[in-house]
Structure 1
Amino acid sequence: MRAPDTYDYAVIRVVPRVEREEFVNVGIILSCERAGFLEARIELDEVRLRALDPTLDLDSLRRHLDTIPAICRGGEAAAPIGLLPTRARFHWLTAKRSSIIQTSPVHMGRCGDLPATLEHLMDRMVRPPKATAPR
C-alpha cells in the first residue's frame, strides 16, 4: 500500500473592493510535489460577488481567474511562468498580493487521493453549504 501524499493548498479569493477587505472564496489550488500534482479548480458564485460589489466586471474577472488553472497546467501557453517547475508555479500563484484576486495562507494535509481531496476542499471551502430539510 502506498503512503499518503503530503499536499499544500490555498483558497483563491476574490476581493471586489480591496479597501473593504470583504471576499468570496472562489477556488482551490492544490499542490503535491512528490506526485508532480498542481491543479486549480474555480467556481464563481456571481450572486455572492455582486452582493459585495454590484459594479464588478465579471467578464474581466473570469479572464484573470482562467489564468490560474493554465499556470497550474504549465507549458508554453502559460509562459513564462508556465515554464517554471511545478513547485515554483505554486509559490508564485500563492504569493501575497493586494489585488482583487488573492489567496489564503498555504495549508498542508495528507491524503491518498489528490483529485478527491481537491473536490472535498471545494465543497468545504468554496461551495455554499447545502440546506438540509427541517426535521
Structure 2
Amino acid sequence: MRAPDTYDYAVIRVVPRVEREEFINVGIIVSCAGAKYLEARIELDEARLLALDPQVDLDTVRRHLATIPAICAGGPGSGPIGLLPQRARFHWLTAKRSSIIQTSPVHLGRCTDAVAAIEHLLQRMVRVARD
C-alpha cells in the first residue's frame, strides 16, 4: 500500500455582494504535488445563489467559475496563468481577493487518492442534503 500524500485545498465561494460578506460554497480546488494533481470542480446551486441575491448576474458568475477548472487543467487554451507550474496556478487561484469569486483559506489534508479526496470535500463542503 502506498503512503498517503499531503494535499492542499480551498473551497470556492460566490460572494454576490462583497460588502455583505455573505457567500455560498460552489466548488473545491485540490492540489496534490505528490500525485501531480491539480483540479477544481464546480457545482453551482443557482437557486441558493438567487436566494442570497436575486439580482446576481448568473451568466457572469458561470463564466468566471468556468475559468477555474480551465486554469487548473493548464495548457495554451487556459490563458497566461494556465501556463504557470501547477503550484503557482494553485497559489494564484487561492490568493486573497475581494471580488464575487473568492476562496477559503487553504487547508491541508492527506490522501492516497486525490480524486476521492476532492469528491469527499465536495460532499462535505459544497453539496446540500436534499429531503
Per the normalisation by structure 1, the TM-score is 0.95
Structure 1 residue identity aligned to 2:94: T
Q: How does 1:80-95 map to 2 (within 5 A)?
A: 80-95=80-95
Could you give the per-residue CA deviations for residues 55-76 of structure 1, whole angstroms, max 9, x where no partner exists?
1111111011000000000011
Whole-angstrom distance in 2 between the partners of 1:15 and 1:71 = 20
- Aligned equivalent of 2:3: 3
Per the normalisation by structure 2, the TM-score is 0.97
How far does residue 79 in structure 1 lie from its aligned partner after superposition?
2.1
Q: How does 1:43-122 map to 2 (within 5 A)?
A: 43-122=43-122
Whole-angstrom distance in 2 between the partners of 1:16 and 1:57 = 9
**Structure 2: gaps (5+ residues):** none
Q: RMSD of the TM alignment (CA)?
A: 0.8
Q: Is the 8 A contact 2:35 2:114 kept in 1?
A: no
How far does residue 8 in structure 1 lie from its aligned partner after superposition?
0.3
- Aligned equivalent of 2:26: 26
SS of match in other structure, 1:110: strand
Number of positions where the alignment pairs a residue of Structure 1 with one of Structure 2: 131
Whole-angstrom distance in 2 between the partners of 1:3 and 1:28 = 23
SS of match in other structure, 1:34: helix
Whole-angstrom distance in 2 between the partners of 1:129 and 1:5 = 29
Whole-angstrom distance in 2 between the partners of 1:47 and 1:83 = 34
- Paired-residue identity, %: 76
Whole-angstrom distance in 1 between the partners of 2:29 and 2:85 = 15
**Structure 1: gaps (5+ residues):** none
- Aligned equivalent of 1:36: 36
Segment drifting more, 21-30 vs 73-82: 73-82
